[in-house]
């Protein structure tokens, strides 16, 4: 029986390296994905879907994708921007 170490499994909800994010594409459209640190997910802008990253493992099974319904959802997954007046 594989012993699961609580210490080993208890990873902070980690993101992934930018290098890995560059390798991956949307499983449905094969278009590049955008890493969103805010929601810890990979965004497929072409179809408005967010794929979660859990314990450092991207979940890129198509059924794991979450449809981003509104502009608000899309905007909330954008990196924060500073406004200059």
Partner 1 sequence: MAALQFAFPSTAGSRRRPESRSTTRPARCTADRQALFNRIAPVYDNLNDLLSLGMHRVWKRMAVSWNEVREGDTAVDVCCGSGDLAFLLSEKVGISGKVIALDFSKEQLQIAATRQSAQSKACYKNIEWIEGDAADLPFPRSSFDAATIGYGLRNIVDRRKAMEEMYKVLKPGSKVSILDFNKSTSSLNSFSSSISCFFQDWMIDYIVVPIASGYTLADEYQYLKSSIKKYLTGKELEQLAREVGFSEAKFYEIGAGLMGNLVATR
**Region from 52-60, 66-74, 76-84 binding partner 1, contact rule CB under 8 A:** 52-60
Q: Single out the residue of 41, 23, 20, 44 nearest to residue 33, CA to CA.
A: 44
Sheet hosting strand 66-67, strand order edge to edge = 34-36, 41-44, 49-54, 66-67
Q: Which is nearer to partner 1, 65 or 77 (CB)?
A: 65
CB of 70 to partner 1, least distance (A): 25
Q: How many CB atoms lie within 10 A of CB 9?
A: 8
Is 64 a binding residue for partner 1 by CB under 8 A? The answer is yes
The residue (of 37 and 62) whose beta carbon lies closer to partner 1 is 62
How far is the CA of 32 from the CAs of 1, 12, 26, in angstroms? 39, 26, 6
What residue ranges bind partner 1 (CB under 8 A)? 1-2, 4-5, 8-9, 16-17, 20, 23-28, 30, 33, 54-62, 64
């Amino acid at each position: 029986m594989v012993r699961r170490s609580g210490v080993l499994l208890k990873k902070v909800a980690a993101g992934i390296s930018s290098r890995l994010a560059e390798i991956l594409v949307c499983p449905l459209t094969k278009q590049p994905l955008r890493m969103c640190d805010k929601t810890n997910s990979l965004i497929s802008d072409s179809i408005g879907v967010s794929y979660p990253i859990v314990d450092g493992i991207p979940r890129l099974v198509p059924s794991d994708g979450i449809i981003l319904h509104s502009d608000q959802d899309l905007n909330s997954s954008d990196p924060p921007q500073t406004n200059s007046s």
